[in-house]
Amino acid sequence: MTDRPIGIFDSGVGGLSVWQEIERLLPNESIVYYADNANCPYGEKTREEVIRHSAKVAQFLVDKGCKIIVVACNTATSQAIDCLRETFEIPFVGIIPAVKPASINSKTGVIAILATAGTLKSGKFNEARQEFSGNTEIIPVEGGELVDIVEKGLQGTKLSEKILHKHIDPLMERHIDHLVLGCTHFPFLIDDIKKITGNRLVLDNPAPAIAKRTEFILENEGLMASPLNEKQVVFFSSGDIGMLKNMVENIIGFKSCTGFYGNS
């Protein structure tokens, strides 16, 4: 059945940056989004914990009939996606920091990646760093506290600005020209980052590429939804659904949800 939904999950609301791109690119597709915000953030957890939480969420999405699952979390991708692919029989799409395009397109030869500790410690990131560090200096910056800023809807506040200055000002002194957004929460801080940097940086957001990869797999597997699909977009949360609902309806402005379901 091609009209089965796409499953998307993240540790919280950050994966909505990927959901937005998939919604835009594939408007006929039904979607089930799961925010595991009871266990957020994943970036501070052990690999075993990330695998356990990710497998539980993936099973939930499989039980909901999802035909493909997008792991819209950098930490879960880097630490758990191989296990998920071995465990479940449906396709998985992961998200990888856009180190390659940033390295190739950098004019100063210095780029930075803003990510959580879990992503920066992962083998997948360090393999990419090693591969592309020949002609490019790649500066890793741990920005886990910014996940909490987005989860609490504090974009555009003095606190957000203060934390971003702390992370970005030293990078500007080192003449970076690309900042890789290595966590799906961080695209929601783009306006705040631009207030600090103006047009001096290219912000590399991998979400559009993930949407295109999802489309490619659906087409290849014959899983695209029909134009007559009775589309549904449903959101689940393992914790407080309020933050997720506020982000979707008020900050993103999406009003066509089929339903929100959480523990409160």
User: Which one is catalytic: 40, 66, 73, 257?
Assistant: 73
Query: Which one, of 90, 262, 128, lies nearest residue 206 by Cα?
Result: 128
User: Active-site residue 66, yes or no?
Assistant: no
Query: Which one, of 28, 41, 95, 84, lies nearest residue 60 by Cα?
Result: 84
User: Which one is catalytic: 40, 83, 183, 257?
Assistant: 183
User: What's the order of all strands across the beta sheet hosting 178-181?
Assistant: 137-142, 110-115, 178-181, 202-204
How far is the C-alpha of 109 from the C-alpha of 102, rounded, in Å?
9
Say how far residue 78 (Cα) sits from the centre of its chain.
12
User: Active-site residue 40, yes or no?
Assistant: no
SS3 26: coil
How far is the C-alpha of 33 from the C-alpha of 25, rounded, in Å?
16
Phi, psi of 152, rounded to the nearest 5 degrees: -95, 5
Indicate the DSSP class of residue 201.
Answer: S
- In the numeric block, the tokens 């479940």 are attached to 88
At residue 48's C-alpha, the angle toward residues 239 and 36, to 5°, is 15
Residues with a known catalytic role: 73, 183
